[in-house]
Amino acid sequence: MDGSRVGVPLQVRLQFGHAAVQHIADRVGADILHIKGAAVDPSLRAGPFGTDVDVMVRPHQVTMLDRALTRSGWSVYSTFENGSPFGHAQTYLHDQWGYVDVHRSFPGISAAPTAAFDAFWADRGRLEIAGVTCEVPSVTAQRVLLVLNAARAPGGHRRDLPVVWDGADASQRSAMTDLVARLHAEVAFAAATGDLERYRGEREYLLWKVVSEGGPRSLEWWARIRAARGLRARLRIVGRAPLVNVDHLAHRLGRRPTKWEIAVEFVRRPVVAAREAVRAGRRRLHRQGVAR
């Protein structure tokens, strides 16, 4: 190894990643908001910045920013369609700046993406990151986004909640719940704060039950179908359910999969889903037996 090379600490690299993405957005005239990580107000930070950069882009400027990023050395790591059950973000990778998640929406917010972005943009603040001025949501909006993000934390590991929700005073909580109502994000917010059963009758209830507490993939797909708005959206999900997520398979293998590997995965998926469903059924029966 070249002894003259010095590794850049992750937290420093992330700040430069924010600055790099902002520079690209400024160059093409795209409106972006930096969310989570290094962009979070210091009073709300519960630990290190994380492992990637997250930005939210004005929805109709997604294509503009995508083209600018790819022209500047970023490559698509996972697409909107394959990145998560919510299709909310596309991930890019740069050999120097690492990963950036470009959000066109935010999981848990049911308001139209443009309306949600406008609400955040209207009350935005500014933060200097690595010498570059970046637009960030208001502190209240940051609190809401961190709570919504916590609802998707695996196994209930929600390190931000003690700071952004449990530690909030009455006026801060009131401001948060007002914004949650404007964003139509009540169900996801309740999933993080322990009040989900209050929304048992809502179409998104099962999805956030599975996302926040875990469950078999088959149940997640059924929950996604139930949560979708309109017949066309539901049919689209039904059509995608049996398909192999090639992005995830490539990440697991460390390379692009062959056609044979994709075919094997296509056959393997329903088998795994059946096993998960059987295990989930056994756990449910066990819990019912214990309850008696």
User: What global pTM score does this model have?
Assistant: 0.80
Joined together, the tokens standing for residue 204 give 């998104």
Q: What is the pLDDT of residue 79?
A: 87
Q: In this model, does residue 133 exceed pLDDT 90?
A: yes
Please report, for residues 49, 116, 213, 256, 267, the alpha-carbon distance to residue 262 in angstroms, rounded to integers and kept in the order given: 35, 37, 29, 10, 9
Predicted confidence (pLDDT) per residue in 13-41, tens digit: 999 999 999 999 999 999 999 999 899 99
The top-scoring range by mean pLDDT among 4-8, 35-39, 42-46, 181-185 is: 181-185
Q: For the ranges 116-130, 132-146, 201-215, which has the lowest average pLDDT?
A: 201-215
Please report how many Cα atoms fall inside a 13 Å half-sphere around the Cα of residue 152, on the Cβ side: 14
- Report the C-alpha gap between 189 and 144 in whole angstroms: 8
> Which pLDDT belongs to residue 6?
52
Q: For the chain, what are the domain ranges? A: 8-197
Could you tell me the two tokens for 27?
């160059």
Q: Can you tell me whether residue 119 is helix, strand or coil? A: helix
Q: How confident is the model at residue 134 (pLDDT cuts 50, 70, 90)?
A: very high
- CATH classification for the domain delimited by 8-197, as one of 3.40.1440.10, 3.30.460.40, 3.40.50.410, 3.40.920.10: 3.30.460.40
H-type alpha helices, the chain: 10-28, 62-71, 80-83, 113-122, 139-150, 161, 170-183, 186-193, 205-213, 217-227, 231-240, 246-253, 259-291
